[in-house]
């Protein structure tokens, strides 16, 4: 029998695409550069640079969309444009997703690592200060950003989860994204337990990099309690609840509390 909580998130999957469409209706500024970090068409970063000569602090942003090819980095373009306007260089990462050759486990995770390493490698060329680097991600991108912090392949000052899918086993049990977790990892927890253990942020705690977790209390795509449980389990996380906010409010600069989100994304003693 499907529980009331699970039914809410089953029904929410159909609404997710419609909500995402609203986020991408505006026309953000074009990136200053599109930087390839691999040979696949999906392996690139859109770089936006703030005014001034630099070197600029850098924010790696990882978009969500349940790791699916149906969602591209375009729906995070407004977010990155606003953050660049506020003073940080933003690196909006595209990566191979479910439906792309090599997407899902482990290619999606490998792409995030390679993208971050490449950003640091080319930083001097683009006036970026790789010593002032943070990572952030929304929804499935939040899982990827938190996971990236664990890998320690680049030196991050902090990591921000925006409605992050921080517990993949819990996400599986709620059937978030109508089976997206199983498609991403190649099966349920009982069949591929090691994949869940090595990819689920809550199972990788403690994370040495400071974490800030934003989550809307009215999120019908990823439940607020997921970030509550993660922040409670972490020794180094701060949870910032956004009362009444939905899933996509957190990446929409038109949202009433965007300035609070922006401040926490950029204020890392830069």
pLDDT band at 98, cuts 50/70/90?
Answer: very high
What residue numbers bound the domain in which 224 lies? 4-266
What is the C-alpha to C-alpha distance for residues 93 and 110, in angstroms, rounded to an integer? 12
CATH number of the domain bearing residue 173: 3.40.50.1820
**Tell me, what's the pLDDT at 26?**
53
What is the total count of domains within the chain?
Answer: 1
Compute the average pLDDT of residues 30-46. 97
143-152 tens-digit pLDDT: 999 999 999 9
- Distance between CA atoms of residues 268 and 191, nearest Å: 40
pTM of the model: 0.91
* Intra-chain end-to-end CA distance of the chain, in Å: 51
Torsion over CA of 159, 165, 166 and 168, rounded to 10 degrees? -150
**Do 250 and 21 form a contact (C-beta atoms < 8 A)?**
no
Of residues 2 and 220, the one with the higher pLDDT is: 220
pLDDT value of residue 4: 36
Q: How confident is the model at residue 38 (pLDDT cuts 50, 70, 90)?
A: very high
Checking if the pLDDT of 63 tops 70, the result is yes
Q: What is the rounded distance in angstroms from the CA atom of residue 22 to the CA atom of residue 200? A: 29
Q: Taking all residues of the chain, what is their mean pLDDT, rounded to a whole number?
A: 91
pLDDT band at 10 (very low <50, low <70, confident <90, very high): very low
Average pLDDT score over residue span 22-44: 82
| Cis-peptide into 24, omega within 30 deg | no
**Is it the case that residue 156 has pLDDT exceeding 60?**
yes
């Amino acid at each position: 029998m499907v529980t009331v909580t699970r039914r809410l998130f089953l029904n929410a999957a159909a609404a997710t695409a419609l909500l995402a469409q609203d986020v991408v209706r505006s026309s953000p500024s074009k990136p200053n550069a599109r930087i390839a970090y691999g040979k696949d068409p999906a392996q690139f970063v859109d770089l936006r640079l703030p005014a001034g000569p630099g070197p600029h602090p850098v924010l790696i942003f990882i978009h969500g969309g349940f790791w699916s090819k149906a969602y591209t980095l375009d729906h995070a373009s407004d977010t990155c444009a606003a953050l660049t306007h506020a003073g940080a260089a933003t690196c909006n990462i595209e990566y191979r997703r479910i439906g792309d050759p090599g997407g899902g486990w482990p290619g999606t995770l490998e792409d995030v690592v390679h993208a971050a390493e490449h950003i640091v490698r080319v930083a001097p060329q683009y006036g970026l200060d790789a010593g002032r680097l943070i990572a952030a991600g929304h929804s499935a991108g939040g899982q990827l950003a938190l996971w990236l912090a664990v890998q320690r392949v680049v030196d991050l000052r902090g990591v921000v989860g925006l409605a992050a899918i921080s517990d993949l086993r819990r996400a599986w049990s709620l059937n978030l994204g109508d089976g997206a977790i199983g498609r991403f990892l190649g099966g349920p927890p009982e069949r591929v337990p090691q994949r869940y253990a090595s990819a689920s942020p809550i199972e990788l705690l403690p994370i040495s990099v400071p974490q800030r977790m934003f989550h809307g209390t009215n999120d019908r795509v990823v439940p607020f309690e997921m970030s509550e449980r993660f922040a409670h389990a972490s020794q180094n996380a701060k949870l910032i609840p956004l009362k009444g906010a939905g899933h996509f409010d957190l990446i929409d600069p038109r949202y009433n509390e965007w300035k609070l989100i922006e401040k926490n994304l950029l204020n890392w003693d830069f």
